[in-house]
Structure 1
Amino acid sequence: MRRTFLKVTGSALVAGLIVASGGPAWAATVTQVPAASAGAIGGFAGVDSVSATDGWAVGGNGNGVVQRFNGTRWSIVASPDLLNGGANNWAYLTEVDATSAANAFAVGQSTAASGGEKSAVALRWNGSAWSRQAVPKPAGTDTELTAVKAFSASDAWAVGQTASGGSTFRKTLAMHYNGATWAATPTTSPGTRTNFVTAVDGIATNDMWMAGYSLNLPYGNRIRQSMVQHWNGSAWTQVATPNNGSTYLYDVAAVSATDAWAVGFASTGGAFVIRWNGSAWNTVAAPPLASLNSVAARSGNDVWVAGSDAAGAPALANWNGASWSVTPVPAGGGATVTLSGVAFASSTTEWAVGARQDATTGQSSFIAFRVA
């Protein structure tokens, strides 16, 4: 669904269709869909869809930005000012998840102008307007939300990390919304130096996964360890996961109780994919890319990932149950495109969103692609 960035360069843009100038053979058609501008900087970080003609994408331009797809284009929808009238100096929305046209959640963080303290942000769409929700934050702590998964208007999860007193040691953070309030639930923080949670997904309120990576002391150590935790309805428990050198997990997607996928990067081997079989996470074949940053799965035979190749050019890849097919996503005019979210638009189409940076001016803008 989301989450980290991959860069795209090269080729031509013709009548909204992205046309590759080289690289792997096309496995899908990628069409750019108009998105609204929001100043000299900006970009999408996450995307979700209710139907083929109703979708949400979030990100920022120094403040939080929300856009909605109406079947033709993406347009800005009014949302709360996360800068608090100037009291904060930076804010961003990282992900959005919708259960219907009348219910969606978005999360992110806002940084105070004085002291730089970070506060987790949660917004909710009620069918007519976005409103900011109260998120508990102990005094003197930094809190950040990176991902969200909603099951209903009264059942949603958000994950991220928290630190106290300006410390660089981050602990994992998981919060649940019960229809009235957000509340933190106990989690495991395996890294003795720091921990990052990048993704959350699940098939039910008692069967959830969150993924990320951790780092152990001493301070000279730079080897990250993959991290996955499972919620069974009463507790979060760390589950053993493979590593291949320094290993990062950037996204997770659940299909069933016996099938889930997590993707990322390993310093030995590049693109990294692990799969849950109901009893253990195992390394499985990855597409021929250097890194994977986002994953969405309809079934065990229809999995989409976003990543970059050995030259740093981004691509999408699809698993059909037997093999991976790769689709490059070049940009026109020598611009750099960063894709940060992948989600399903319908039973046969996908969304990929991110930011486009102009090669001449350095300015960035929101960009969205439909994949079919």
Structure 2
Amino acid sequence: MRKRRTIIGTLVGTVAASLIATAAPASAAPAPAWDHLAFPNGYNKSDETLRDVAATGPTDAWAIGERRLNKPPNISTCGDLSRWNGQAWTDGPMPSYECNGKLIAISAESATSVWTLDSKNAYQWTGQSWTTIPLPVSATGTPFWANDISVVGGTTWIVGRLSNGDKVTTEIYKWQNGSWQRALLPLPAGENTVASVHAVAPDNVWAVGTIDLYSPANKARALVLHWNGTSWNYLPAPGLAPLQTVQLNAVTVAAGQAWVGGALTTYESNNISVKSVNAFLMRRDGSTWTVTPSPEPQPGPASYNGPRVLSLAVHGSEVWAGGSHSVDGRTIGLLIRWDGQAWRPATPTPPFTEYDVKALSSKPGHGLWAVGHGTRVTDPQATGDYVARLTG
């Protein structure tokens, strides 16, 4: 195993938290604080990227991504994995030392049930070692290209696509009783793409993506699918205004409500030039969809890098949304929370000058975890892919 500089998590705002605890009554809940910040790959490592994070408890978390080998003859992309033991981030243990591309996503149900995947295999951590499970292939032998994974109740779900010649089909599989089982999907007309899956219970699984994402006619719209334990159902979203499209990237569930997030693009009258891109957030309560406006600043005309939601997670009683946008060439993190009435800017803000949020993850009672790229407030040279945790 290669050696790598490990930057141990730094407590953020420890002194402030201590003062609050001293002044407040003993029964007062601790104030929210970013109590952990680490750069597992070190600083300024352009060849190593974090993509996702999952935790099973306060002293056990996993961060995955990719490591690029750019020195001939070794030019390839490999998976990369770091693990938090409560004291420090360390390498591995890797699920595979073959370079099958990046590790795409990770999902953790418990310390003995952690799943991740790359372009060829899914990998199950049993508490002691990784078990390799080849991904499905099409009838002609072409591989399944996975976008996301989620595990609950001993069942693992993966979403992605299969290619048969010129035909690309959206697919969902579940791993149960030792085999992949292909789901029958009631997909609407058009070219469908599923980007994210979130399993709440064996009879409550949500998958989201986009219909006609790459249509030259710019008519992309929301795709939401729900598994009720017996069958998958397509849940049509509200129609859009003229010259608008939606791309969905994320889904979560809180208090019986499903939340989906992504980007809303508005075009000029020629339906070609982009007028603006804004964060898109919508919730489903029973059978009703409600679009909920984001508080993030709206970019000016022709902003291709407007705010967009890339990940959703539940922290306590609140739903959190993460992503990024660009303002005057600077990367600005999108991090907002739904307080039950409206979306609010996250407080406290993460300890960065510039940052983005690639993924959010949470475990009840063990904080909200985030991964992305950022620069420390305290050191403008300390830039890299980070893992941060919010508690309280």
Q: Which residue matches 1:286?
A: 294
> Aligned pair 1:75/2:75, yes or no?
no
Q: Which residue matches 1:150?
A: 151
List alignment gaps of at least 5 residues for structure 2: 1-9, 14-30, 68-76, 267-276, 298-306, 377-382
- Deviation at 1:107? 2.3
Q: Which residue matches 1:313?
A: 332
Cα 1:188–1:76 shift into 2, 3 Å: farther
* AA in 1 matched with 2:147: T
* AA in 1 matched with 2:85: N
> Aligned pair 1:33/2:24, yes or no?
no
- Deviation at 1:221? 1.4
- Deviation at 1:16? 6.4
Cα 1:291–1:162 shift into 2, 3 Å: same
CA contact (8 A) 1:93 1:107 kept: yes
After superposition, the C-alpha distances for 1:56-96 in whole angstroms (9 at most, x for unaligned) are: 22111121122211112322212233646xxxxx5111211
Q: Which residue matches 1:181?
A: 179
In 1, the alpha carbon distance for the partners of 2:364 and 2:84 equals 13
Cα 1:343–1:16 shift into 2, 3 Å: same
After superposition, the C-alpha distances for 1:23-45 in whole angstroms (9 at most, x for unaligned) are: xxxx9644552343287512221
- Deviation at 1:229? 0.6
> Aligned pair 1:343/2:373, yes or no?
no
Q: Please show how residues 322-333 of structure 1 align to structure 2 within 5 Å.
A: 322-327=341-346, 328-329=349-350, 331=352
Q: Please show how residues 245-264 of structure 1 align to structure 2 within 5 Å.
A: 245-256=244-255, 258-264=256-262
In 2, the alpha carbon distance for the partners of 1:204 and 1:346 equals 15
- Deviation at 1:202? 3.1
In 1, the alpha carbon distance for the partners of 2:151 and 2:188 equals 26
Cα 1:254–1:229 shift into 2, 3 Å: same
CA contact (8 A) 2:213 2:247 kept: no
CA contact (8 A) 1:79 1:129 kept: no
Which structure's CA Rg is the greater one? Answer: 2
List alignment gaps of at least 5 residues for structure 1: 1-14, 19-26, 85-89, 110-118, 359-363
* AA in 2 matched with 1:162: L
CA contact (8 A) 2:174 2:183 kept: yes
TM-score, length basis structure 1? 0.77
CA contact (8 A) 1:171 1:189 kept: no
Q: Which residue matches 1:234?
A: 230
> Aligned pair 1:108/2:118, yes or no?
yes
Cα 1:186–1:345 shift into 2, 3 Å: closer
CA contact (8 A) 1:107 1:146 kept: no
CA contact (8 A) 2:296 2:334 kept: no
CA contact (8 A) 1:344 1:350 kept: yes
In 2, the alpha carbon distance for the partners of 1:284 and 1:356 equals 28
> Aligned pair 1:354/2:372, yes or no?
yes
After superposition, the C-alpha distances for 1:308-367 in whole angstroms (9 at most, x for unaligned) are: 3562511311111123331354646xxx64421101255363111134599xxxxx9542
CA contact (8 A) 2:135 2:143 kept: no
In 2, the alpha carbon distance for the partners of 1:356 and 1:308 equals 11
Q: Secondary structure at the match of 1:148?
A: strand
- Deviation at 1:287? 3.3
* AA in 1 matched with 2:313: A
In 1, the alpha carbon distance for the partners of 2:102 and 2:63 equals 12
Q: Which residue matches 1:24?
A: none
After superposition, the C-alpha distances for 1:115-155 in whole angstroms (9 at most, x for unaligned) are: xxxx4x31100101122212221234242112111114x31
Give 2:210's match in structure 1, choosing from 210, 213, 216.
213
CA contact (8 A) 2:137 2:162 kept: no
Q: Secondary structure at the match of 1:93?
A: coil
In 1, the alpha carbon distance for the partners of 2:155 and 2:363 equals 23
> Aligned pair 1:200/2:202, yes or no?
no
After superposition, the C-alpha distances for 1:209-240 in whole angstroms (9 at most, x for unaligned) are: 100112179x5312211100111222222111
> Aligned pair 1:297/2:314, yes or no?
yes
In 1, the alpha carbon distance for the partners of 2:199 and 2:286 equals 13
In 2, the alpha carbon distance for the partners of 1:235 and 1:345 equals 28
* AA in 1 matched with 2:368: E
CA contact (8 A) 1:315 1:329 kept: no
* AA in 2 matched with 1:250: N
Q: Secondary structure at the match of 1:286?
A: coil
In 2, the alpha carbon distance for the partners of 1:346 and 1:33 equals 19
Cα 1:365–1:108 shift into 2, 3 Å: farther
TM-score, length basis structure 2? 0.73
- Deviation at 1:306? 0.5
Cα 1:243–1:76 shift into 2, 3 Å: farther
CA contact (8 A) 1:79 1:131 kept: no
In 1, the alpha carbon distance for the partners of 2:323 and 2:41 equals 25
CA contact (8 A) 2:52 2:371 kept: yes
Q: Which residue matches 1:10?
A: none
- Deviation at 1:182? 2.0
Cα 1:82–1:213 shift into 2, 3 Å: farther
Q: Secondary structure at the match of 1:92?
A: coil
